[in-house]
Structure 1
Amino acid sequence: MSRAGERDTGLNANTVRRWEIGERWPDPRYRKHLVSIFGMPASDLGLLTADELAVRPEAETLHEFRRLWNMMTGEDSGNGWDRASVLRALVGASMLPLVAPLLSLDPEAAHADGKAVDPDSYRQIVRCQRELYWTSPARPLYEAAYAHTQLGVGLLRAATGTSRTILASALAESALLTARLAFFDLSRPAIAERCYDVALAATREAGDHALAAAVLGHMAFVPAFGHQPANARPLIDAALQHTWHGVSPMVRSWLHCVASEVEARAGAPAASRRHVDLAAGALHGDGTPPEWLDFYDSGRLHSFGGYAALVSGDHSAAAGHLTQALAALTPTGGKQRSVVLADLATAHARDGDQAADYLNQAVDALHTDWYGVGLDRVRDVRPVLGDSRHGVVLDERLAALTASRAALPGG
């Protein structure tokens, strides 16, 4: 590492000992040098976990996407990819919306008038859209954020120097917001995955470790919700690696909460609660959280903690966490309200009247602040009411809610 110009190695005998006994896994920054020293691939050296080996095909797909990104942004480096080749590859890979429209922009025509790119104006719009997330209807905001992400890719082609770095960071935020809307609000995970890919590529361009950690953490939700924890865990591990680079403890705390949900959905309650404890420990560390980290605070920690307690069967602890989470919700926290209320219904499942009351409050919250994940959570909890009168009433309300959503333009 010293010969490669990496002076701050962070290595000592204890670190190596922990590698040898299997207590820790060598970080990626060390693995590349171990591969060089031994002259063998990481898989042959045993440097890849079973989970990493399982997702290697997906990793290769991401690598190919990055090659496409490099071609789009003029960093082809003579790899032999021309525009026609890229389009054929996209058709063959059946890539979903966002990627194809982005490539439809003509790089030769971009900013042919020679006007300079203004990254601050682009970033200001991203900031405004992020604020609108908490108070605006999801579908039209998604369409606006999607279009702004497209614009960002086009602008990035023409940007250079400091402007390019600033623009790449703003583009990562825009793509992340678009993906969150697609996944959490509109229940379109396939589109969200493509948006996350764009966001991750942009963080690499920007050299922004905090944003990279956030993108990878969000990416983990997709396989976690799809009951594929083996695909989610490597993404969490990769995200945590970025927190070694001066990232705010709040980001690390949120990542542990994401890991907690991954383990909870995998049926690993002990691991889930351990991550909640780690999240609580990191929450009070020094450092100013990034501006875009508006989706996490101590109240959200209680929400994750409540879910972890539910999975472990500790309904009393869950009710305590969730009551605090509900009380901590700000006026802009309406989307999370439906999730917390549904979980409180689970925590009080033995009391049919109280569970029904919480679920009806959750439906009220969905009428005010639509949230796809909230609807899914209510549906997951619905069985606690069985064939009771409460259950029949809730079914009628859910049917009316989904019908009204379907009648909306683009719904």
Structure 2
Amino acid sequence: MAAALATCDMAALVEAVRLARGWSQTDLARTVGYSQSWVSRVVNGQQSLTLDQVREVCERLGIPIHLLRFAPAQPSSVPLTASRPPAAFAAGRMKGAGPTRRRDFTKAVALATLSLPNLSAVGNVHEETAATLRAITGSQRRLDASSPSRDLVNAALAHWELSARTLSRAKRTPFAAEVAAASSEAAGFAAWLHADMGDSGSARSFYHRAVKHAHQAGDVLLTVYMLGSLALFEIDSEEPELGLRLAEEAAHKLRGEVHPTAQAWLSCVCALGHAALGNRAATQERLAHAEHAAERPENTDPPWPWVFRFDSAKVAGYRALAAVRLRRPHEARAAFFEAFPRTVSAPKQQSILMVELATAHADAGDVDEAFRLASHALQTGVAYRSEKVLNRVRRFRREYRGPQARCVHAFDEQLASLTTGRLPL
């Protein structure tokens, strides 16, 4: 292929792409949008290409046209002149032309292509497209750690729209799977933001798109990540049966040797589903599996699409969340204390943990500490305009059945200030 690029031999280049991709001539024809007989003639050096066809074939095969190089013209080559434009010349039959002359003609056509503004290249998909899209999503996800979702959502939606449009253009290129993966991640992040804003309908819709595009990409690890994310969303939305089914479907796909971060995280998601359904034995089994995976020495840099490493402190956080759902407050508090000192969480995620810890303290009878934590989470939810955090805080208060101490009345006043607008969002 390098030699074909260096000599601008389109016949050899097309055939090299076909062999590298493991395609039949029929597959190649389908990709470039021509008949199999036309492709056969091109590969055998019996079909000359017009200027537009060079552009079109390069675009559909994902060949950056600037990589084509040109050897000095042979004396027998026919120059392109103003009186004989390239397209008209290419349309000729070139009867009696040998392979050398056909190659020289192809070089001249490609040279003419480079010398003209290539308007058809606008919006081309190439080998860097998917990586660029993923980098944008990754940057947005990192910004989410310290920014309100409402400040990010418009940019995230615009990026999702760009990713979806790019995917539609990439369908007939060798980069379709990579772009589908990038589009899946963009949809997953949009879902996360909508969940944080309390828009469950939009969140669920984007999660479904994320799973669909992960399937299109053929990326098992990405599919597992998106199914697990949807499972967590359903568990948090008080649909534990559905969430657990999704998590178990993801676990079924996660076979063979995979990165420990993926194993630990998905085991924790399954544990949370079991805990929400009150199954303590299954919860403990999945958490033990997560701890074993997290402690493996190769659990260092997380695999894409995970942004942060899933370590023992993260497992402790999930153990605490599971203990809260199982109504085991003392276990929950011990696990929280293990998780918090070693975990530098984003403020919104830390506030969610604080509300859960507040529930554990309330169940253990420590009302003052419970409402101190809930008050802190409420303030963070207001500062970041996170409906997810605020809804968790409201649910904590709604489910509290303990004594009406002074701290409870003070907290109710905070909630009332939020409702009446004295504590602005």
| TM-score, normalising length: structure 2 | 0.64
CA distance in 1, matches of 2:369, 2:332: 15
Q: What code does the residue aligned with 1:388 have?
A: A
In 2 relative to 1, CA 283–310 (structure 1 residues): closer, same or farther, beyond 3 Å? Answer: same
The Cα of 1:386 is off from its aligned counterpart by: 4.3
Answer whether contact 2:324 2:332 (CA < 8 A) is retained.
yes
1:133 aligns with 2:144: yes
- Unpaired stretches in structure 2, ≥5 consecutive residues: 1-30, 32-118
1:182 aligns with 2:199: no
Q: Write out per-residue CA displacement over residues 214-237 of structure 1, whole angstroms, 9 at most, x where no aligned residue.
A: 110111134323433332222112
In 2 relative to 1, CA 234–156 (structure 1 residues): closer, same or farther, beyond 3 Å? Answer: same
In 2 relative to 1, CA 140–369 (structure 1 residues): closer, same or farther, beyond 3 Å? Answer: closer
In 2 relative to 1, CA 402–385 (structure 1 residues): closer, same or farther, beyond 3 Å? Answer: farther
CA distance in 2, matches of 1:351, 1:234: 35
Q: What is residue 48 of structure 1 aligned with on the other side?
A: none
The Cα of 1:245 is off from its aligned counterpart by: 5.0
Answer whether contact 2:316 2:336 (CA < 8 A) is retained.
yes
Q: Write out per-residue CA displacement over residues 287-342 of structure 1, whole angstroms, 9 at most, x where no aligned residue.
A: 54214323644332212101222333432221111112222232x52112212222
CA distance in 2, matches of 1:138, 1:403: 23
Structure 1 runs (4+) greater than 6 angstroms displaced: none
Q: What is residue 409 of structure 2 aligned with on the other side?
A: 392
Report 1:202-281 matches (<5 A).
Answer: 202-281=213-292
Q: What is residue 354 of structure 1 aligned with on the other side?
A: 369
In 2 relative to 1, CA 222–326 (structure 1 residues): closer, same or farther, beyond 3 Å? Answer: same
The Cα of 1:370 is off from its aligned counterpart by: 4.4
Answer whether contact 2:248 2:270 (CA < 8 A) is retained.
no
CA distance in 2, matches of 1:276, 1:316: 17
Q: Write out per-residue CA displacement over residues 34-68 of structure 1, whole angstroms, 9 at most, x where no aligned residue.
A: xxxxxxxxxxxxxxxxxxxxxxxxxxxxxxxxxxx
The Cα of 1:394 is off from its aligned counterpart by: 0.8
The Cα of 1:138 is off from its aligned counterpart by: 0.5
CA distance in 1, matches of 2:200, 2:414: 26
- Paired residue for 2:392, among 377, 381, 401? 377
The Cα of 1:193 is off from its aligned counterpart by: 1.5
In 2 relative to 1, CA 230–377 (structure 1 residues): closer, same or farther, beyond 3 Å? Answer: same
Q: Write out per-residue CA displacement over residues 50-103 of structure 1, whole angstroms, 9 at most, x where no aligned residue.
A: xxxxxxxxxxxxxxxxxxxxxxxx9xxxxxxxxxxxxxxxxxxxxxxxxxxxxx
Answer whether contact 1:337 1:365 (CA < 8 A) is retained.
no
CA distance in 1, matches of 2:311, 2:154: 27
CA distance in 2, matches of 1:226, 1:343: 15
Larger radius of gyration: 2
Q: What is residue 336 of structure 2 aligned with on the other side?
A: 322
1:116 aligns with 2:128: no
CA distance in 1, matches of 2:420, 2:132: 39
The Cα of 1:405 is off from its aligned counterpart by: 11
Answer whether contact 1:134 1:333 (CA < 8 A) is retained.
yes
Identity of aligned residues (%): 29
- Unpaired stretches in structure 1, ≥5 consecutive residues: 1-73, 75-110
| TM-score, normalising length: structure 1 | 0.66
SS of alignment partner, residue 198 of structure 2: coil
The Cα of 1:272 is off from its aligned counterpart by: 2.3
SS of alignment partner, residue 246 of structure 2: helix
Report 1:3-42 matches (<5 A).
Answer: none
CA distance in 2, matches of 1:340, 1:251: 21
Q: What is residue 293 of structure 1 aligned with on the other side?
A: 306
CA distance in 2, matches of 1:321, 1:308: 10
CA distance in 2, matches of 1:373, 1:328: 24
CA distance in 2, matches of 1:405, 1:163: 53
Q: What is residue 165 of structure 2 aligned with on the other side?
A: 154
Query: Aligned pair count?
Result: 297
